[in-house]
Amino acid sequence: MQTFQLPVVVEVVVVEIFEEIWLRNGEAKPFISLGLALGIALATIRDAEGRVKRGPTRLLQIMVSESIHLIWVLRCQWRIEFEGDPSKIHSRDHVRNRWLASVNKRLRWDRTLTNEKTYGRKALKPKVVEATWCTVIDERADGHLPPDWVSDKGVLVGVGRTRRPPGRNR
């Protein structure tokens, strides 16, 4: 069976943005390997006493799984849709924006899952969502998040997308 390699730019950009966001968490940078990617559901981050830190552990699981999924999607798109054409390699800005969009989508999903009217006892606890995301989201200009940010709508993951310049000759 023949395997098809994705141009390295996608993996490099995904790792760069992953590390950029992860550094906000204040935890040690994990060593990303195939073993971690395959066993991400079992990965844990522990404190000095050996207790599992639920927020950082959950964030690591979300970010690694979203990153691996994005690399797979872009590889399939490049190989199947673009037929492996080197002139159609995804740009750095495109990869960055797709990663941010996928993580923001996951954040919106987590926030939606806190609705107890819809999900009853299966709803996520707002404290779980807050522990997961509070270290990596953008704060407002005054430096504080609103107290009800879990239930409010909006884009919070904060690195900012790279936008194309306006005009016809972009």
Domain-wise residue ranges, the chain: 8-106
Residue type, 22: W
Rounded CA separation 12/3 (Å) = 20
Q: Is 91 helix (H, G, I), strand (E, B) or coil?
A: coil
Residues 6+ apart with CB under 8 A from 69: 102
Each residue's pLDDT, cut to its tens digit, for the chain (170 residues) gives 444 455 677 888 998 999 999 988 888 888 888 899 899 999 999 999 999 999 999 999 999 999 999 999 998 898 888 888 888 888 899 999 999 999 999 999 999 999 999 999 999 999 999 999 988 887 655 557 777 778 776 555 555 555 566 666 65
Residue 140 to residue 162: CA distance in whole angstroms: 20
- How many Cβ atoms are within 10 Å of 89's Cβ, its own excluded? 18
Whole-structure pTM value:
0.81
Which residues in the chain belong to E strands, given as ranges? Answer: none
Other C-beta atoms closer than 10 Å to the C-beta of 46 total 11
Q: Which residue has the tokens 């790279």?
A: 162
- Helix, strand or coil, per DSSP, at residue 163: coil
